[in-house]
Amino acid sequence: MRDLVAAKLGELFDILQIDHQSDHNTRDTPARVAKMYVEEILRGRYTAPPEITEFDNAEGYDQLIVTGPIDVRSTCAHHLMPIYGHAYIGILPAADGKLIGLSKYDRIVDYFSARLQIQEELVNQIGQFICERTRPRGLAVRMSAVHMCKTHRGIKASHRSRMVSCSYFGEMKSDRSLKAEFLQECRALERGAGD
């Protein structure tokens, strides 16, 4: 796949009048960019989801867990520009369900970010995957991110301009006080004052 992509990128460079044959800066760029797309930026499309270590919820912990900030590095589906920011995940475990290793939330965010995305779908995909694997009573995913398709081109919006999207499942969707508790913990973690 990398070789095919590199050949097509070479053609694209030709059309854009970028010398990738003799210019010392761009000579290897088609191959370099092909590697970046296949092995990094779009990696999540060609690899299996992360292995999830599950633990029995032996003592029936049933209170809200919130983890974050989780770094988000993704790519906009419309202009292929970077999306970067943070995610927070809230889990309301089922007393008879499973817990998963804390680092796996970061891995799941990384996995679904490694493809072309829009933010609304990214938070949903992360939430649905966690729900399918762990069957919690409730789950919330909140993401705040900068879209460089908006800040670096087009309208050239403020670099501080962000998009916030949330996805709620189960009891986290219907229970207003749980949502409020989750958002309060997100704010505390965002300030670096989650302790």
Ligand X SMILES: Nc1nc2c(ncn2[C@@H]2O[C@H](COP(=O)(O)OP(=O)(O)OP(=O)(O)O)[C@@H](O)[C@H]2O)c(=O)[nH]1
Q: Residue 85: phi, psi to the nearest 5?
A: 170, -145
Provide, rounded to whole angstroms, the least separation between the CB of residue 84 and ligand X: 12
Q: How far is CA 17 from CA 10, 14, 78, 162, in A?
A: 10, 5, 23, 34
Provide, rounded to whole angstroms, the least separation between the CB of residue 145 and ligand X: 8
Q: Which of 11, 80, 154, 164 binds ligand X (CB under 6 A)?
A: 154
Cα dihedral 130, 68, 57, 127 in deg (nearest 10): -10
Which CB sits closer to ligand X, 34 or 148?
Answer: 148
The answer to the question of residue 48 lying near ligand X (CB under 6 A) is no
Q: How far is CA 187 from the centre of its chain?
A: 19
Q: Which of 137, 147, 162, 179 binds ligand X (CB under 6 A)?
A: 147
Provide, rounded to whole angstroms, the least separation between the CB of residue 79 and ligand X: 6
The answer to the question of residue 150 lying near ligand X (CB under 6 A) is yes
3 state DSSP class of 152? coil
Provide, rounded to whole angstroms, the least separation between the CB of residue 155 and ligand X: 6
Burial of 157 (0-12, 13-18, 19+ CB in 10 A): middle
Residues that bind ligand X (CB under 6 A): 76, 78, 118-120, 147, 149-150, 154-155
